[in-house]
Structure 1
Amino acid sequence: MDIPAELSTGERIRVLRESRGMSRPVLAQLCGRGVEWLKKIETGERELRSHTLLLQLAAALQVADLSVITGTDPGGTAQPVQLGRLSNPVMPDIWAAVMTRTLTPPAGGPVDPAVLQGKADQTWRLWHSSPRNRTEVGALLPALIREGEHAVRVLDGKQRRAAHVALSDIYRLTGQATAYIAPAELAWVVADRALSAAQAADQPAAIAASAWNMGNILRETAYPEEALRVVLEAADLIRPHLDDGTPEDWRGIYGALQLHAAVTAAREGNEGDAWRYWGKGDQVAKNLPQNYVHPSTVFGRANVDFHAVSIATDLRKSQKALGLADDIDPDAMPSRERRARLWVEVARGHLQRGDRTAALHVMQMAHRIGAETVAYTPSARVVAADLWRNSPRSMRAETSRLAEAVGVATAG
């Protein structure tokens, strides 16, 4: 379609919707949102800031180039829309392990829940240490899922509850490893099973950790209010158990829930709430040993500082974000995956200031640290695509190499 250049994003969505004979309720339903939400977007009453929702709208409207909706770069380089999820060869086996769970009693002997928990913990460590974490962890998950499901069926009493904790950890890791590559139905099944297993174990820390995971799914599928409700409810659940004698990991997951709430609030533009929740997480970190790191969420001193950069960037306070980043020692964070995401946030801050040279430099650092983290993180792909489209000719060769390495299409 030839859409007038002066139209806003909301007006473009309305024109595209009407040109396809699509009602507002139908389009809203395809995006998993309400009619009033779409009406506010189309009329300009609400700003559409979520890249995930932009992609959902583009796919629902069958628009292959995102710039048709955003109105950016008219007539120039295409901004391809992935009409499906990002692909990874580990998905078929994980799908089979999750979605073909047998209803009959499993064959095989008893399982030691301590051994199962050790395997889960070891796989979490691999997730945080490998530059190819999705591929390597994804290859291990199918057998681990089946072993965990077997354990909770054949054990009883305390051993069964321990196995449920391990199974919840396995499903939480499955959610992390398949984010942005799993079909939506699998993502929801995995998140729900992690929470159900934790509730079966009747262990508050496991329930809180699975709620942190459920909050990730809700936030990334554009349900920020529900995401905030889930993590704050989980924080309320675990708070009465926190005292000087509480295991460090219980306090660590409580701090991780506060940081989750902070990011959710920041992405919604609620600056006061974002820094208030961050402050609660910061206080938790101050009361833990300086070198403490939660084994799965990597909550600790470094992660609190990393989140401050993310929050400032999401609030579009780029000067503050970059100033905070200057004071961080990235090597204090043992998670390679989290270090890579920090540099993506720094790159976003540089882009907000219009400094594409600096953004390219730190994106290259992020890719060297965690190639698959960058390739499978939507915000990183957006930065790589922006750099390739909008950088000066003198940077085109380097930005093209980055875009290709990340998997952003450069044809068009």
Structure 2
Amino acid sequence: MTDADLTTGERIRALRESRGMSRPVLAQMCGRGPDWLKKIESGERELDSHTLLLQLAAALQVADLSIITGTDSPAATAAAAPLGRLAHPGMPDIWAAVMTRSLTPAAAGPADPVALQGRVDQTWRLWHTSARNRTEVGALLPGLIRDGEHAVRTLDGEQRRLAQVALSDIYRLTGQATAYVAPAELAWVVADRALTAAQAADQPAAIAAASWNLGNILRETSYPGEALRVVEEASALIRPHLDGAPEDWRGIYGALQLHAAVTAAREGREGDAWRYWEKGDQVAKNLPAAYVHPSTVFGRANVDFHAVSVATDLRKSQKAIGLADDIDPDAMPSVERRARLWVEVARGHLQRGDRTAALHVMQMAHRIGAETVRFTPSARTVAADLWRSAPRALRPEAAALAVNVGIATA
């Protein structure tokens, strides 16, 4: 049998199995039960919902819908799904900086790891405060990558260790700024280099932060079990050092707990999700009220934001909306994180069937962080759903949002 002979259901099953995903996991990611997916895969039920097709494409990391549908489904189109890896003009330069790393030190001046770390910290602040964060941070990353590599190669002793910490931060930031736009091979290289540099520095907080970053990539590429293993190991590594440790060490420990909470929620593990969230909540209670981790933005506001994410991923839409109602979004200094909060709220409204509210909230998210919405698959999924199913009176607004997000409406 050739690929052309496969039905939509057979294609979905083949894609699912090739990614090591169980039927219950994939079904849950689409908000359905395993029996529904079993019927789709066996051909007993037809896949005639374009929204569900988009959700399957997102979960399976497929950018071209025809890979799933072929020509045998009424929902089939040859159009690209508004999901997966997206184009960004900054990627070629970042790719060159990462993938053409020189094996010998460049003939450059002496490196100052303290100044390098200061530049990295400033770039993290830019990531969290700019509505065009991918573009503006992406323009700075090639230089940071090359300078970080130069520092590690030319310094020794304590200076080299400081440079390793800075380089790990640079690669973590690269992972954040290129999420969903970087080729898969670059995403894995960046994650590995961040962890390798942190381990070379032998600094628990840097290792934990790099593990948080690796966990993000594992979760987004459908390896939730591995993501949880990584963040739990990192938590165990840094936990003995927390008494009397700097606030940022406790901040990254808290961020690991929130990462685990969302990962468990996406797997439908409600008890585990809230248990991890409560651990993060306790960390925030033991930090100053105004504390915000410089890269993960862990703090009181982010713990509250994650409660909305957990409830939404568990499909507890009423709870998610109720939690969001009690949040002061301005308590979060990160523009990027505020935009993602409103995307989560929009997902909650869609789960309840309230497309009018979902559209209003998505418009807010786009005004706050245009590039965050444009380059986040879950946001693009919501925008695509609204474009196809918004109330008649709101279709022009839904179409305008789709255009702004980069989804074709022709």
Q: How far did 1:33 drift?
A: 2.6
Q: Structure 1 pair 211/239, CA: closer, same or farther in 2 (3 Å)?
A: same
Partner Cα distance (2:135, 2:26) in 1: 38
Letter in 2 for 1:354: G
Please, what TM-score do these two structures have when normalized by structure 2? Answer: 0.88
**Conserved in 2, the CA contact under 8 Å of 1:58 and 1:69?**
no
Verify: 1:376 aligned to 2:375, yes or no.
yes
Verify: 1:64 aligned to 2:60, yes or no.
no
Verify: 1:188 aligned to 2:184, yes or no.
no
Gapped regions of structure 1 (runs ≥ 5): 1-9, 18-22
Question: What residue number does 2:338 align with?
Answer: 339
Q: Structure 1 pair 69/110, CA: closer, same or farther in 2 (3 Å)?
A: farther
Question: What residue number does 1:312 align with?
Answer: 311
Verify: 1:360 aligned to 2:359, yes or no.
yes
Question: What residue number does 1:278 align with?
Answer: 277
Q: How far did 1:385 drift?
A: 0.5
Verify: 1:171 aligned to 2:171, yes or no.
yes
**Conserved in 2, the CA contact under 8 Å of 1:66 and 1:79?**
no
Partner Cα distance (1:361, 1:82) in 2: 20
Residues 197-346 of structure 1 aligned to structure 2 (within 5 Å) = 197-243=197-243, 245-346=244-345
Verify: 1:54 aligned to 2:57, yes or no.
yes
Partner Cα distance (1:92, 1:204) in 2: 33
Q: Structure 1 pair 41/399, CA: closer, same or farther in 2 (3 Å)?
A: closer
Deviation readout 1:29-73 (Å, 9 max, x if unpaired): 7x5337xx479979946959997763475849x6438788997xx
Question: What residue number does 1:85 align with?
Answer: 85
Q: Structure 1 pair 69/195, CA: closer, same or farther in 2 (3 Å)?
A: farther
Q: Structure 1 pair 333/108, CA: closer, same or farther in 2 (3 Å)?
A: same
Question: What residue number does 2:3 align with?
Answer: none
Partner Cα distance (1:44, 1:308) in 2: 26
Partner Cα distance (2:137, 2:390) in 1: 35
Partner Cα distance (1:268, 1:100) in 2: 38
Q: Structure 1 pair 316/59, CA: closer, same or farther in 2 (3 Å)?
A: closer
Letter in 1 for 2:252: I
SS of residue in 1 equivalent to 2:66:
coil
**Conserved in 2, the CA contact under 8 Å of 1:205 and 1:238?**
yes
**Conserved in 1, the CA contact under 8 Å of 2:195 and 2:211?**
yes
Question: What residue number does 1:13 align with?
Answer: 9
Q: Structure 1 pair 69/149, CA: closer, same or farther in 2 (3 Å)?
A: farther
Q: How far did 1:81 drift?
A: 2.0
Deviation readout 1:254-304 (Å, 9 max, x if unpaired): 000000000000000000000000000000000000000000000000000
Q: How far did 1:406 drift?
A: 0.5
Letter in 2 for 1:176: Q
Q: How far did 1:410 drift?
A: 1.2
Question: What residue number does 2:137 align with?
Answer: 137
**Conserved in 1, the CA contact under 8 Å of 2:312 and 2:348?**
yes
Q: How far did 1:85 drift?
A: 1.9
Q: How far did 1:105 drift?
A: 2.5
Partner Cα distance (2:56, 2:124) in 1: 29
Q: Structure 1 pair 373/132, CA: closer, same or farther in 2 (3 Å)?
A: same
Q: How far did 1:109 drift?
A: 2.1
**Conserved in 1, the CA contact under 8 Å of 2:242 and 2:250?**
yes
**Conserved in 1, the CA contact under 8 Å of 2:83 and 2:380?**
no
**Aligned partner of 2:19 among 3, 8, 32:** 32
Deviation larger for 105-114 or 180-189: 105-114
**Number of matched pairs:** 387
RMSD: 2.9
Question: What residue number does 1:96 align with?
Answer: 96
Letter in 2 for 1:87: A
Q: Structure 1 pair 83/281, CA: closer, same or farther in 2 (3 Å)?
A: closer
SS of residue in 2 equivalent to 1:110:
coil
Q: Structure 1 pair 58/112, CA: closer, same or farther in 2 (3 Å)?
A: closer
Letter in 1 for 2:329: P
User: What is the identity percentage for the equivalent residue pairs of Structure 1 and Structure 2?
Assistant: 73
